[in-house]
Every structure is written in structure tokens, then in C-alpha cells.
Amino acid sequence: MAINTKGRRKFVHGEKSFFWYVKEDDEDYGRIKLLIVSEDKKFNVSYEVVG
């Protein structure tokens, strides 16, 4: 199953494609998160944006 790429930015590292986007996390008191997901969904990470 492919990942939804609408509204996401793509970058390539080596031969792998990744997509990143920023969104407000409704389940975490509205904190802003940076999410990075590989095209094959084997890599998935999120970081809280502090500022």
C-alpha cells in the first residue's frame, strides 16, 4: 500500500525516497510535529517542533 503524498514534500537520500510534513497532533494537546516517512513505510519517525 502506497503512502498519501498529497501535501507532503519529497526528498531522496541515496536510493530511498522519503516524504516529510508538519502537522498539529490532535492527540498530543495540539503540539506541532515533523513527520518523516519512507516510501515503503519501513521508516517512520516524528519529532516535536519546539520554538
Asked whether residue 38 is domain-assigned, the answer is yes
Residue 29 lies in a domain: yes
- The answer to the question of residue 1 being in a domain is no
pTM of the model: 0.83
The parts of the chain modelled with pLDDT lower than 50 are none
Number of domains in the chain: 1
pLDDT at 51: 75
Q: What is the pLDDT at residue 29?
A: 85
5: left (phi over 0), alpha (psi -120 to 50) or beta: alpha
Q: Which domain holds residue 24?
A: 9-48
- pLDDT at site 4: 85
Q: Give the three cell numbers for residue 45.
A: 519517525
Residue 4: inside a domain: no
Residue 23 within any structural domain of the chain: yes
The per-residue pLDDT for 1 is 67
Q: Please state the separation of Cα 7 from the chain's center in Å.
A: 11
